[in-house]
Chains A and B, each alone.
Chain A
Amino acid sequence: MPTRSTRRTKPRERSPAVVAPRPPLLSLELIERLLSAAMSKGGELAEVYVERALVTAVLLEERRIKSAQTGLSQGVGVRVVAGAKVGYAYSDDLDDEALFRAATTAALIAHGGGSEQAFKVSRAPSPSHYRVPVPLSEIEVAKKADLVLRADKAAHAYDRRVKQVVATWADQTKHLWVANTQGRFAEDTQDLCRLSVQAVAEGKHKERRSGFFGGGGRVPFTHFETFTPELVAREAARQAVSTLGAVEATAGQQTVVLAPGWSGILLHEAVGHGLEADFIRKGTSLFAGKLGQKVASEKVTVIDDGTVANARGSVNVDDEGNPGELKVLIEKGVLKGYMYDALNAKLMGQRSTGSGRRESFKHLPMPRMTNTYLAPGDDTPEDIIGSVKKGLYCAHFGGGQVDITNGNFVFEVSEAYEIEDGKLGRPVKGATLIGVGPEALKNVSMVGCDPMPDPGLGTCGKDGQSVPVGVGLPTVRIDDMTVGGTRVGG
């Protein structure tokens, strides 16, 4: 371990990241008046969402801090629901005129007469699944810069073949307030951060491989005293170096074993999205109408949990003001439930599961995952790998994508090894996994006893909106998975 950086002992500089006075929360009285204005055309339900987000980012490349950045965005979104129709307007001007213009614009979705009804909201108590005593936005930027500098040093020190390192720090402190005409008023402060490192190693014949690792979550800055930049950097460097000399992936069906942790992204894509209520209501997901049916191997229990302590995808309240929840989606292979936001819940006669999320005030909320994981089984990871005569061990994934309608999903496997007679063999490059969600889940034949959350890496995109998510998985064996590659046969 390198000793604590000397930077720590420097006199405390005036922190540039400490911005602005405490955010000017719109007064409750103003929010209530906006709700009235939003209902002036006879809407059924109206909601005012107020957000203020401060971000800081530090980027290191070519062995030095290239830039430090900060940003502030704030605004208000007003939503009016009339039956299944939604009117939405937002403004980043917070003066009364702009706000009331947004409210009356959203109101136009309803065509009824105007009634000047008054609405009262009251504060709903909310739980706390993440405690970040010092908001990340108030940590001085020099400390954040120090993390990326340490990561750079550690990645280069890991192996001489590491030629390039890009390290980034990003944090956000987001305050949100949401009120609706059902009287609910909720607020939350959501801190989020991520340290990430990309390392490129160069081997013989100028072969270049890259590795990527990182993590964080809704954690205090002290998280990085144990989840150190050195740990992050060495893992990125290890991936890059250990995949040098990789052989081309063989195309075709194989038994695959997924490493624990970040591999949970497969679950997120293969089944998670297909269980979001908007797709179910519209009948566009292949999981629609299958509640109570067997959709996976009995070894498969899938949970989406918005309450995991300090996890990247956790929410004290979702972006509609409903508390985050633990939902069992699939239990021992049987489909148990879907993830609902308020609108789809209302239209489907269900209740919200605290799954209504949005990227910002510029977006309408929709049902989204929080932290999605596979419950552990009984097998040891050694037994799982040992059980495979010939297959592919997927140690680390790049990104993935799913077509929720036909269920096709794909993943890029960024670090993989051959499995021969129960042992890990040569590294494999350019492998992609492809499958159809329910089929892949039916082929889950072993589930490890080593549950592991991902380190806090994931961002999920849906309809152009990005939200932070967590995933997790124990070691898992899936039979007959199609592996995409360049080599046919052999």
Chain B
Amino acid sequence: MDYLALAQKLVARAKKKGARQAEAFIEVGRDAACRVRDGEIEDLTQATSKGVGVRVIKKDRLGFAYTSDFEGQSLEHFVDRALALAEAAAPNPLNGLPSRKEVGATDVGELFDPQVAALPSDWKIKAALEAEKAGKAVDPRVRTFESVGAGENISEVYLASSEGVRAGFQGTYVYLYAVPVASDGDQLQTAYWVDYKRFLDALDAPEAIGREAARRAVRMLGAKKVKSQQVPVVFDPLVAASFVSSIAAAANGDAVYKKSSFLAPLLHQRVGGEDLTIVDDGLLPKGLGTSPFDGEGVPTRRTAIIEKGILRSFLYDAFTARKAKTHSTGNASRGYRSLPAIGTNNLYLEPGTKKPEDILREVKSGFYVTAMLGHGANIVTGEYSRGANGLWIENGELAYPVQEVTVAGHLLKMMKGIDAIGSDLQFRGSTGAPTVRFSELTVSGT
């Protein structure tokens, strides 16, 4: 089926039925996944899916409808529904699609790996089994796996609008993960390790995934609580990436416009040290979050949110940018079931020069956090409090595992309190970070 032509047809129908502006966003995808257990396949899933979302502006009112039913009559019906729904919304002169001047596409290079698209089921089964086997071989205390699996996705996106958008792209990704469970007879501990790439050649080897997951689970055996105290805290790259996500959430232009972000009053001010640079880069070659245009047809770009410690930019889609009297940063993120909302493309904290070992070695007594629980970052107030697992650092060495504690601080103070950034930037998904050390956070335990 010519999906781009279909998108244009839906836009034309909406216009004919009275929409001032209209946009159709179509996603078509193919997914396959497999999980294994004890050397055998546990499940195999295969599917194709598709859907279209139509956004209309009629008399300054916004309506939206989506459907996965592509039958001709049903599609026409659904465009009419989007228009009828607009009647229920309030008029807002700022409602509108990105203009002809704003839309376009950037050349971001290849996002589609033919090797991933042609990946046989056997590859996934074999890869998952290898990861499981390698994980078990790490230590006899690796008893079982909660899950080990692999999968791939091939997706196509098509976008057409009354404002001149007529574009599409194809992308792939492939992933591999392991969640082992270790037991010492007394305690059970788990961990996970994953890799996620657009291109097969860039994916970590299955053995590496299995081994790293197992190593992380086994070293947590015997974990205990520590007493409440304020100490230096080191986040490993995975945990640091979730911290960076919290900062990006606070840089969301919509939250900022509503003054619902602690970062709102701080534009162009110092929020961290010279070595703190956080970037959202929609152009990162082969990045999982890379695309030629965002969810409403605005070319993606590289936006430094924080550059050398100075808060430089917030993230915007077209509507919020119009409200805030600025321009879209190409951060409209969406699936066909939703209106565009501000999100990140490839988000990362730029690496420093220190080796992660050295970052730990300089700590006399502190906490190395390797996993977190909960979502306790409040971007309105900046309060940060999350459950944490990891290892206690004594005289620069990892001494013993710790669980059932929280680490707490304030996001702004935390950024300002970063006193070491590692050279080990890594992406396990579309957000990346290196090892990060905070000079002091509160650890709550006994």
Contact = CB atoms under 8 A, between A and B. Distances in A.
A305 to B, nearest CB: 27
Contacts of B406: 251, 410, 432, 434, 482, 484-485
B190 A410 contact: no
A400 interface: yes
Interface stretch (B16-24, B297-305, B373-381, B426-434): B373-381
Given A68-B85, A252-B228, A432-B376, A412 B43 contact: no
A127 interface: no
B135 to A, nearest CB: 14
Contacts of B381: 207-209, 429-430
Interface in B300-357: 337, 339
A420 interface: no
Contact of B51 (A17, A92, A145): A92
B118 interface: no
B220 interface: yes
Most chain B beta carbons < 10 A, residue from A84, A87, A208, A210: A208
Contacts of B48: 91-93, 98
B49 A405 contact: no
B385 interface: yes
A75 to B, nearest CB: 7
Contacts of B65: 69-71
Nearest to B90: A64
Contacts of B383: 429-430, 486
Interface stretch (A28-36, A225-233, A279-287, A384-392): A279-287
A405 B190 contact: yes
A424 interface: no
Contacts of B42: 84-86
Interface string B211-249: 000000000100101011110000000000000000000
Most chain A beta carbons < 10 A, residue from B189, B373, B405: B373
Interface string A43-64: 0000000000000001001101
A256 interface: no
Given A252-B445, A362-B47, A431-B385, A68 B86 contact: yes
Nearest to B189: A406
Contacts of B410: 486
Contacts of A251: 228, 406, 408, 442-445
Interface size class of B (residues with CB under 8 A): 35 or more
Interface in B16-53: 37, 40-51, 53
A87 B43 contact: yes
Interface size class of A (residues with CB under 8 A): 35 or more
A441 to B, nearest CB: 14
Nearest to B86: A68
Interface in A172-214: 200, 207-210
A102 B45 CA distance: 10
Contacts of A406: 187-190, 220, 223, 389, 403
B139 interface: no
B87 to A, nearest CB: 7
B43 A364 contact: yes
B306 to A, nearest CB: 22
A19 B81 contact: yes
Interface of A: 13-14, 16-17, 19-20, 58, 61-62, 64-75, 84-94, 98, 102, 105-106, 108-109, 141-142, 144-145, 163-164, 200, 207-210, 249, 251-253, 279, 282-286, 362, 364, 398-403, 405-406, 408-412, 429-432, 434-436, 463, 482-489
Given A409-B387, A410-B376, A434-B405, 12 more contacts: A16-B81, A17-B85, A67-B63, A69-B85, A92-B68, A93-B48, A98-B48, A200-B260, A284-B190, A406-B189, A411-B374, A430-B408
Interface of B: 37, 40-51, 53, 62-70, 74, 77-78, 81-82, 84-90, 92, 143-147, 181, 187-190, 220, 223, 225, 227-230, 258-260, 337, 339, 371, 373-376, 378, 380-381, 383, 385-387, 389, 403-410, 442-446
8 contacts: A68-B88, A85-B41, A209-B380, A252-B445, A284-B190, A405-B190, A408-B404, A486-B409
